[in-house]
Chains A and B, each alone.
Chain A
Amino acid sequence: MNFIQGLGAIELHSWYKGKTCVHAYGSGLKDAYLEINVTSGSEYGNKALNELQPPPYVCGAPWKKEMYDIAIDRPVFCSSADPVHPGRNIVDGSEETWWYPEKEREGEWILVDLEGSKEIKRIDLSFTDIAGRAFEIGISDDKINFKNIYVSEATDEKSFLELNLSNLRARYVRIFFKGKPIKMKKVELWA
């Protein structure tokens, strides 16, 4: 049974030749019977088998005490870019480079793809100049539906933003300029 024939969505492995009958039942449902015949291999012979058990433990990536920037060198997409100031500049770790769109117009945006849903503890933005323009930070897991987690004030006087977060996971982080865009030096996503 496999996806191709559309007959089912499970993958079975057989270790012995012979017939296996599966009886599926549930309250309020008609019983179903599935007979699986394996025609090659050695005979089962009704011997007692020790059934494979799941592993005794699992482990993940070790926890790191200091936070680290998980946006470095990740893919960047944007509404447009000046050829000399491409979007990837915001994740190159450099203070000397920046992104700017092709034209100064409303509605420009830039987005970092973390290539998987990740926990983010802090977002740092760095601009070449005092911000003073309206922008929003949105997060998404599908690049289509964005949820705003920060809305700036047009009267902001800083050239950077440090935004501490809690319980936030996302794959995409987008900066959207409601008004005219600002040159962006860095987007750092700390985990």
Chain B
Amino acid sequence: MHGDFPEAKDTDFDDSSWYDVGLPHSFGIPYFMENEFYVGYGCYRKTLWMEKDWIEKKIYLEFQGVFQETEVYLNGKLAGTHKGGYTAFLIDLSRFACEGENQLFVRVNNLWNPRLAPRSGEHVFNGGIYRDVSLLVVEPVHIGWYGTYVTTPEVNEKYAKIKIETEINNTTENPISCLLESVVEFGQEKEAKAVEKVALLPGETKICCQTVTVEKPFLWSPETPNLYVLESRLIEGGNCLDSYRTDFGIRWFLFSGDKGFFLNGRHYDINGANVHQDHAGWADAVTHSGIRRDVAMIKGCGMNFIRGSHYPHHTYFANECDRQGVLFWSECCFWGTGGPNVEGYWTASAYPVMPEDEEEFENSCLTTLREMIRTNRNHPSIIVWSMCNEPFFSDAGVWNKAKNLLKKMVALTHELDSSRPAAVGGVQRGGFDILGDLAGYNGDGAADSRLERNLFSQRKI
């Protein structure tokens, strides 16, 4: 129901007048690109049935995206919160779950927040639970959520060395010894396998590294979107504690300041478009088939690249780019827009103008960036992480702080994923374009003098 009903966390709250909705949902439905939209609270209630044998396990609720501040209650108790409207997050329900019926209450608002990115943007910011929600039930010892990270430190047409990093969580109060088995398959044929012993202390999280080699790899490209499957299994005493599937692709690429872009060793022209996430009528509540269609439309008109403007897209979007064969620029939401720079709405300065807002805002950008990379890092279609769009639309007095934030975001990107460049998007003004490995220019393009000075580094990825 639209509105704020904090008392609806109670199990005996009467919600008989509330609307019956399915997911994905948006506060703004029906929505047809009007400039005005609903800004406020919306609340959801649902009865969840928990099986008896789940109660000894870890129970999580995974949200792929809620715009933009979320509180999740189970049986009247606050289970977790999240700030940020475009990235997936996990809420642990284990503590408060009981066998049988459980009352779930989710309280959401899309109020403008000076300390939460984006502070501005030339688009709309409809609220609600607008992407998938899944109930995850796992053993107390399990592979971490989005816990695999697959890279190819050595790759060519003859072979690919595949580095597999797997995060394992032991949430019990006991030490554990188990085996991590990682099998790489292509078209259901086993290509490579690694098995390693893993020992974890009570409460420990560990990342295990394994390396395998695949001969004559089937390379991924927009023309040949070949995908491999990594099946990860945790085995204790012959029993499978957990299994996890990761789709990935083998390719290599290079951005060169003077020669252009190269994919799998060959020069490759990029031709694409910005894609926003909303659909007519449904606002941001877009189904998987809707996402599939969006990517297909880009591909169908001869393009090979999408810029996910100007925020992290649904993880399924990158799935479809992998599967259909479209290169993807995945962008974080440090976003500015031209206009009055007035606090209180999404026409504000991109970077905060009040000093007391700065620290939390910067943390929101870094957290969103971290979440975007973690949940999307195995997609072969993603060739760049972008930090921003038009951050120069900040109050002139805070430009240096905005630039410093971008430097921090670029550094964090390098730390989290050295296999891809960190770009700054929409940086055609103010000297913001030298802050990343790549620069994207909107509108009237780059200042010529910067191109001539060849400031971009050459990186083989």
Chain A positions within 8 Å of B, measured between CB atoms, are: 2-4, 10-11, 13-15, 49-62, 64, 68, 70, 72-77, 83, 86-88, 92, 113-116, 191
Is B21 in contact with A73, judged by CB distance below 8 angstroms? no
Nearest A residue to B34 via CB reads: A58
Is B300 in contact with A4, judged by CB distance below 8 angstroms? yes
A138 vs B22: C-alpha distance when bound (angstroms): 49
Is A50 in contact with B20, judged by CB distance below 8 angstroms? yes
Looking at the assembled complex, report how far the CB atom of B129 sits from the nearest CB atom of chain A, in whole angstroms: 13
Is A56 in contact with B340, judged by CB distance below 8 angstroms? no
A2 vs B293: C-alpha distance when bound (angstroms): 8
Partner of B17, one of A15, A50, A87: A50
Is A55 in contact with B122, judged by CB distance below 8 angstroms? no
In the complex, besides A2-B293, A56-B38, A62-B344, 7 extra interface pairs with C-beta distance below 8 angstroms are: A15-B21, A55-B38, A58-B37, A59-B38, A60-B35, A68-B340, A86-B447
Q: Judge whether B378 is part of the interface by a CB distance below 8 angstroms.
A: no
Residues of A within 8 A of B19 (CB): 50-53
Looking at the assembled complex, report how far the CB atom of A17 sits from the nearest CB atom of chain B, in whole angstroms: 12
Residues of B within 8 A of A88 (CB): 429, 444, 447
Is B345 in contact with A113, judged by CB distance below 8 angstroms? no
Residues of B within 8 A of A59 (CB): 36-39
Nearest A residue to B35 via CB reads: A60
Residues of A within 8 A of B35 (CB): 60-61
Is A83 in contact with B347, judged by CB distance below 8 angstroms? no
Nearest B residue to A5 via CB reads: B293
Residues of B within 8 A of A13 (CB): 22, 24, 282, 285, 287
9-residue interface stretch from B25-33, B154-162, B353-361, B380-388: B25-33
Residues of A within 8 A of B442 (CB): 75
Q: How many A-B residue pairs have CB under 8 A?
A: 106
Q: Judge whether B289 is part of the interface by a CB distance below 8 angstroms.
A: yes
Residues of B within 8 A of A2 (CB): 289, 293
Residues of B within 8 A of A113 (CB): 443-444
A15 vs B17: C-alpha distance when bound (angstroms): 19
Partner of A55, one of B27, B287, B429: B27
Is A4 in contact with B444, judged by CB distance below 8 angstroms? no
Is A72 in contact with B338, judged by CB distance below 8 angstroms? yes
A14 vs B289: C-alpha distance when bound (angstroms): 12
Partner of B338, one of A4, A53, A70, A86: A70
In the A-B complex, the 10 residue pairs with the smallest Cβ-Cβ separation, listed nearest first, are A75-B443, A55-B38, A15-B22, A58-B36, A60-B36, A75-B444, A68-B340, A49-B20, A52-B19, A73-B429
A51 vs B1: C-alpha distance when bound (angstroms): 11
Chain B 330-343 interface mask (CB, 8 Å, partner A; 1/0): 00000000111110
Which of B17, B281, B346 has the largest number of chain A CB atoms within 10 A? B281
Q: Judge whether B290 is part of the interface by a CB distance below 8 angstroms.
A: yes
A92 vs B338: C-alpha distance when bound (angstroms): 12
Nearest B residue to A52 via CB reads: B19
Is A83 in contact with B448, judged by CB distance below 8 angstroms? yes
Nearest A residue to B38 via CB reads: A55
Q: Judge whether B430 is part of the interface by a CB distance below 8 angstroms.
A: yes
Is B293 in contact with A3, judged by CB distance below 8 angstroms? yes
Is A11 in contact with B338, judged by CB distance below 8 angstroms? no
B1-54, CB < 8 A from A: 2-3, 17-22, 24, 27-30, 34-39
Which of A4, A83, A191 has the largest number of chain B CB atoms within 10 A? A4
A113 vs B443: C-alpha distance when bound (angstroms): 8
A51 vs B19: C-alpha distance when bound (angstroms): 6
Is A73 in contact with B393, judged by CB distance below 8 angstroms? yes
A55 vs B127: C-alpha distance when bound (angstroms): 11
Chain B 262-293 interface mask (CB, 8 Å, partner A; 1/0): 00000000000000000111100101011001
A191 vs B29: C-alpha distance when bound (angstroms): 30
A and B contact pairs by CB, cutoff 8 A, 21 listed: A3-B297, A4-B297, A4-B300, A11-B281, A55-B37, A56-B2, A56-B3, A57-B38, A58-B37, A60-B36, A61-B345, A62-B345, A68-B339, A70-B339, A73-B429, A74-B443, A86-B447, A88-B444, A113-B444, A116-B122, A191-B340
B171-225, CB < 8 A from A: none
Residues of B within 8 A of A115 (CB): 122, 338, 443
Partner of A11, one of B36, B279, B339, B345: B279
